[in-house]
Amino acid sequence: MSERPVFRPRSDKPKVVITDYDFENVAVETEILEAAGAEVIALQSKCEEDLFHVAPDCAAMINQYARIGSKTISRMQKCEVIARYGVGVDIVDVETATKNGILVTNVQDYCTEEVADHAVALWLTLARKLPEYDRATHAGIWKWQSGQPVYRLRGRTMGIVSLGKIGQAIVSRAHAFGVKVIAYDPYLAVEKAVKLDVELVSKDDLLARSDYILMQAPMTPETHHFLSDAEFSAMKPGAILVNTGRGPTIDNKALYQALTKGHLAAAGLDDPEEEPAKRSNWSPKDNPIFTLPNVLVTPHAAYYSEESIHAARVTAATQVAKVLTGQEPDYTVNAKALAKT
């Protein structure tokens, strides 16, 4: 999205509910939506029941982490669009929305560079043993052996799970370090992989051959616990795992066992399995991986830069404003399904 569209304000002041947000305020969204004649209601919902009282009168909902499920959607009487502050829509019941004639939109192409950079940063940090060296030097230990063993990157094998836009951006960065890149993605054409200089392999082959595994899988029923006990046992001893995809794609209990038994060397996670941002009460004590020195965890921050978060907010609000004023939105999730109903 390059230029902000012009809206003809609606006179009926449709209500737009922002279910939750973790930025300072909703001024960015309010400016766009009020230009379309809308009234903005900002909440901090952590459970679906928090939305029941606003669902009947809302013309639109925008959500970040709060789930908009069938119980909320069934209460909607005026809703025209549900917009997600991101790519994934697993926290929106798209099927029920479609049955009720509600368009679902998302935000695409806003954080590809950030997530790819973050994934590579986690990989390099773990491969070069930077946390170990940092802890040692702060403790007064000035020896290169404090991080031993560290292996040369060039010539080793990186396996990437899911070669969408972000996965492909990781590939271009990884090649600069001289690693061989293989990938598992049953939906990618072989011709595309050839152009990327990536060898497409089976899941079993990727697990057996990879020195580094970078997960970028979306959250679907098929990818839940994509990596669990059997998969960790099949990995090369000393492998490093990085996940900048969705937290629940990795079974954290199984990961804990693989790390404590020494089969895996280290892991870098942008979100643990429980996805703390979606919980009203959370503590690192809930997940034993936070006790391990060879695990780096970032707070679902891979997508973040000042530029990307601003783009996500502008784009999500603009999709709603376009729908409410009769314009074609840029990023739709269920438009084709709605056309068939």
Residues labelled as active-site residues: 246, 275, 300
Sheet holding 58-63, edge to edge: 39-42, 15-18, 58-63, 81-84, 103-105
Q: What values do phi and psi take at 3, rounded to 5? A: -115, 145
Of 283, 323, 240, 334, residue with least CA distance to 10 = 323
Q: Residue 78 carries which side chain, given as an amino acid letter?
A: K
Nearest to 32 by CA among 1, 67, 73: 1
Return d(Cα 101, Cα 115) in angstroms, integer. 33
Q: How far apart are the first and last CA of the chain?
A: 29
Specify the DSSP class assigned to residue 227. Answer: B
Q: Report in angstroms the alpha-carbon separations of 123 from 81, 128, 218, 242.
A: 39, 8, 19, 6
- β-strands 264-269, 39-42 pairing: unpaired
